[in-house]
Chain A
Amino acid sequence: MVTRPLGLSSSIRSLASGICLGLILCSGCGLSTPSTKAKKPKPVVVPFQPPIAKEPGAFDAQSVQQDSILIYNATLLTADDARPQIEGGWIRINNGLIEALGSGRAPKIMKGERRFDAKHGFLTPGLVDTHSHLGVYPSPHVWAHSDGNEMTNPITAGIRAEEAFWPQDPGIERAVAGGVTTIQILPGSGNLMGGRGAVLKLHPSRESRAMRFPGAADALKMACGENPKRVYGKGRRAMPMSRMGSLFLMRKTWIAARRYKLAWDTWRKNPEKMVSGVLMPVKPPKRDLNLETLAMVLEGKINVHVHCYRADEMLLQLKLAKEFGYKIKSFHHAVEAYKIRDVLAREGVSVSTWADWWGVKIEAYDAIEQNLALLTESGAIAVLHTDSEEGIQRMNQEAAKAYWAGVHSGVQLSEHDALKWITYNPAVALGVAEKVGSLVIGKHGDIVVWDRHPFSVYAKPQLVLIDGLIRFNSTEKRIPWSDFEVGQ
C-alpha cells in the first residue's frame, strides 16, 4: 500500500512553496541578495501538512509483516457488476490486497499462509460509511469530547474533523465488529460550511492521521436547511436566520473563494517580476484557511458533501455548484431525494441517506422507506449512510430493510444493487472506488465474513479484515481497543 501526503499534487506543492517563500520574505530574512541572473530559485517544498503515516507509531499497512490469508467455503457477494455472486468461493489476501478469488476447490496453501473456513457463510467487501461522527462525537457523550461542530461562525470551511478525532472512541471497535472498514468522518451541520472531513480506515490507532485512507481526498462539509438557521438565527439573532441568509452567505463566500484562487493563480504564474533588470520575488497573497479549502474545492481537489433534506434545497445547491463551477459529490440525509431522482441521476450526484430515519425535524417529514430503492431504479448513485454510532453497527440490516421495502412495493432492484449501497456506491461517493468497495483483484483486503446472508437480521460478522489484517474475530476473546474501556 502506498502512503503519501494527501492531495499534494504539483500545483499544491507550488502553492505550498509560495507560502514558504512568503513567510521567509515577510520575516525579512533570506534572499537578501537578489539573483542577478534571470534564473528561477529552486522551490522549497513545504507541504501544508506533514506527510501521513511516516511519523513514529503511525500505521502503515506496508510496514506490517503480513501473512497471506485464504478464506474458503463461502458465497462471495462481490458488489462487482461483472460477477455479483460466486458460489462455493474462496479469496486470497496477500500483502494487504486481494490477490485472487474464485470458485470451486480452494487453491493449494502457500507457505506461511493462514486459512479460514467460512463454513458456508457469506463474504462481502468491508462496509463503507460516508457519514460518521465517530471520534468527533465519541462515547461517552460529554461536552468535553464533543468536537464535531465549531459553531462560532457559519463559515468554518478550513477546520478539520481529523484534528478533533479521538481515536479512543469505543464506537470505532463496535463499528468494525459490524463489518465497517472505511468511514468518512465529518464535522456537524451547525455551520453552512462546517469544515473538512477525512476518509479513514478503521485500524486501531493512536491518532487519526495514521488511519487516513491513503490518497483519499478530503471533504468539504456544507449544510443547508434548519440547522444553521437555528444555531445562528434563532440562537443568536445572527445571519443566517433564514434560508435566504444561508444562500446569501454561501454565495458571498464562494465569490471570495474565486477571487482568492485567482490571486494565487496569478501569483503562481508570476512569482517574480523584473525590477530594474533584476528578477525579484513577488509577495504572495495572504493565506486564508477557509478560502484555501474552498479554492481546493474549485480546483477539484476536495469533494463536496452537502447536508440537505429537502428536494427544493438540493436543486438550489446544484444551481449554486454550477454557478461557481464545483461538483457536489453527495447529498447527505436527502430524505426527499426520491422527488428529484431524475435530476440526481442525470447529474451523477450520489445520495447518502438512511433506510427509515425521519421526522425529528420538519425538513425530514417527507421521508419514505423506498427512497434508496427508487433512486436505484432511476439510475442514481444510492448510498446508505448511518450518521449514527448505533446504525453503523448494523449497516447490513439497514440495507436489507430498505431493499425489502423497495421490493415489496414493486420497485425494480436486486440484492446486488442493495449490497452496493453499503460497499461500492459509498466508495464512489468518497472517490475511493478504485481501491475498495468490491471484491476485485488488486483492491484493498477489506473483507467481512458473515455466518449467514448479511440481509438476515440474525447475521453476524465472523471475521473482519482491513488491509488484510484481522481486526475482528468472533472466536477470539475481546480485548477492548479503547483505553477508556480498560479497568472500568
Chain B
Amino acid sequence: MTLLMALTIALVGGEIHTMDGAPMTQGTILIKNGQILAVGQDLVIPADADVVQLDGAIVTPGLIDAWTQLGLVEISGVDASNDTRSGLGDLSAFHRVVDSFNADSSLIPIQRVHGVTTVLVAPSGGLVSGAAAVFDLGGPVPISPDVGLVVGLGGQRDGSRGSRFWRLRALFEEALNYGKNKMLFERNQYRNLFASRLNLEAVLPVAQGKKRLFVRVNRRADIRAVVDWAVLNQIKLVLVGAREAWLEAARIAEAGASVILDPTANAPSNFDSIQSRADAAKLLLDAGVPVAISTFSAHNVRKLRQWAGNAVRVGLTQRQALEAITRRPSEILGLDGHGLLRKGAVANFVVWSGDPLEFESTVKAVYIRGVHQTKLHRQRVLFERYRKLNPSSSHNGSEDAQP
C-alpha cells in the first residue's frame, strides 16, 4: 500500500469533469501519495510515473452520498447487525457512529463499484440521535469522526412536535449554561440540569456554532421554526429530508443553511410531507440554497447516480446534478479536498465509460486516496459462482474469486 502510494500515477487522455470549471478533453491527472498533484491538458509527465491511458473516458470526482447508514447495517432485520440507533434514550448526543462503523461490511464494495467513494454515516432514532461521521469507502479511518450532531423533529406518535422542539431548545440552552459554569458543575455547586453531562458535552460545540447541526425535518412550519432558531443562535444548520423546504427556499438561503434531499420523494407520504415535489432540488437551487442529493440508504447507496439522473429529469442541469453528488455535499459537510479535482485535492475519482448518470455507462475504475479499488464484491462472487449452473457440484459452480 505505502509503496503503491509513493508512486506517481498519470491518468492521460480523459474527459475530466473537475467540478471546478468547465470539463476538459484530453486531460491528465497526476496523483501521488493519495493526492492530486495536478490536473490539466499539457502536463509534463514524470519519467518514473505509472501511466494509465483513459482513451477519452469521462473522469469525475468520487461520488459523495451525504446521508447513509453504510457500515452501521449489514442486514436491517438482524438486530445485532444493525447499529443505527443508540438504544440509550431520546437524548443520545454522546452516541457516535464512528464507534460502530464496520469498514469490512459486505455492503461497502457493492456501493463503491458504482462510483460512490465517500459517505456520511448517520445515526437515527430519538430526538438527538448522535454524531454523524464521514468515511472514504477505502478503509476504517474516518475523514471526520464527528461531522455534526443529528436530531429529528416533526410529528411523533406521542407528544407534540412543539414539545419536542422546546426540549431541543432547552437542551441547547442548558449546554451553553453548562459550558459557562463547568467549574461550578464539577464541584456540584450548580443547579440540576435535565440532561446528562455526556449529552451536554456533546451538544456544547454545536450550540456554540462550532459544529454542524443536522435536523431531520419535513414540514414547512417546523422548517421555518428551526431555521429562525438557528439564525438567532448562530447554529450551523443542515436540513435533512426537508420535503417542504422548497416552500421556505428564500428563508433557508438567507439563513445560509443547506439541504440534503431525496429527489424521488414526490408523494404526500405523511402529514409532514404533504407538499412533497420531485423538483424541490431545482426550486431550492434557484433560490440559492446549497443542495446535496442522497439515497438515504445503506444497501442501495449505489443508486446515487440514478437519483441524480432523476433530478435532471425534473429540471436540474446535468452539471447541477453531478455537483449535487460531488462538490455540494463536500461543501455542505465541510470536507477538505473532496468533491472536486484540482491540485492538492484528495485523489478520489471515478473513470466512466460514458455519461455517469446513465445506466448504459459503466464504472471502469474507482480510485480512493490514489488507490485503485477492487471490483470484486460479494454479489459479483455470487454471480460468477452461478454463471454456469452445475447442480451436481457441492457449490454449484466454478472456483470462487476472493472478494
Contact = CB atoms under 8 A, between A and B. Distances in A.
A358 B299 contact: yes
Q: How large is the interface on A (under 10, 10 to 19, 20 to 34, 35 or more residues)?
A: 35 or more
Contacts of B76: 359-361
B382 A368 contact: yes
A142 B358 CA distance: 36
A457 B389 contact: no
B77 interface: yes
A361 B313 contact: no
B359 interface: yes
Given A139-B268, A390-B264, A458 B313 contact: yes
Contacts of B391: 342
A390 B383 CA distance: 27
Given A374-B386, A457-B312, A141 B75 contact: no
B302 A484 contact: no
Q: Which of A142, A226, A362 has the most CB of B within 10 A?
A: A362
Given A142-B270, A356-B300, A359-B299, A366 B310 contact: no
A400 B275 contact: no
Contact of B313 (A139, A368, A460): A460
Interface in B231-252: none
A327 interface: no
Contact of A141 (B269, B380, B389): B269
A409 B388 CA distance: 13
Contact of A139 (B75, B267, B360, B383): B267
B374 interface: no
B299 A458 contact: no
A185 B42 CA distance: 60
Contact of A397 (B312, B359, B386, B396): B359
Contacts of A368: 379-380, 382-383, 386
Contacts of B302: 356
A457 B306 contact: yes
A426 interface: no
A184 to B, nearest CB: 20
B75 A360 contact: yes
Nearest to B302: A356
B118 to A, nearest CB: 21
A324 B267 CA distance: 43
A260 to B, nearest CB: 36
B149 interface: no
B362 interface: yes
A366 B312 contact: no
Q: How large is the interface on B (under 10, 10 to 19, 20 to 34, 35 or more residues)?
A: 35 or more
A331 interface: no
Majority SS of interface residues in chain A?
Answer: loop
Contacts, number: 109
B180 to A, nearest CB: 44
Contacts of B299: 357-360
Nearest to A484: B268
Majority SS of interface residues in chain B?
Answer: loop
A174 interface: yes
Contacts of A170: 267-268
Contact of A338 (B264, B270, B359, B386): B386
Nearest to A142: B270
B77 A360 contact: yes
Interface string B72-89: 001111100000000000
A457 B77 contact: no
Nearest to A403: B359
A361 B75 contact: yes
Contacts of B273: 140
Contacts of A141: 269-270
Contact of B77 (A142, A362, A400, A409): A362
Interface in A371-392: 374, 389-390
B176 interface: no
Contacts of B357: 457-458
B379 A140 contact: no
Contacts of B313: 457-460
A294 to B, nearest CB: 30
Interface in A424-461: 455-460
Given A140-B273, A370-B383, 18 more contacts: A140-B270, A142-B271, A170-B267, A358-B299, A358-B379, A359-B107, A362-B78, A368-B379, A368-B380, A368-B383, A390-B264, A397-B310, A397-B359, A400-B360, A401-B359, A456-B359, A458-B357, A485-B268
28 contacts: A139-B268, A139-B269, A141-B270, A170-B267, A174-B266, A339-B389, A341-B389, A342-B391, A356-B303, A359-B75, A359-B299, A360-B76, A361-B75, A361-B77, A362-B75, A368-B380, A368-B383, A394-B264, A397-B310, A409-B383, A457-B312, A457-B357, A457-B358, A457-B359, A459-B313, A460-B313, A484-B268, A488-B274
Interface of A: 139-142, 170-171, 174, 226, 338-339, 341-342, 356-362, 365-370, 374, 389-390, 393-394, 397, 400-401, 403-404, 408-409, 455-460, 484-485, 488
Query: Lowest 9 A-B CB distances belong to which pairs?
Result: A457-B309, A359-B299, A361-B77, A400-B359, A360-B76, A139-B267, A368-B379, A404-B359, A368-B383
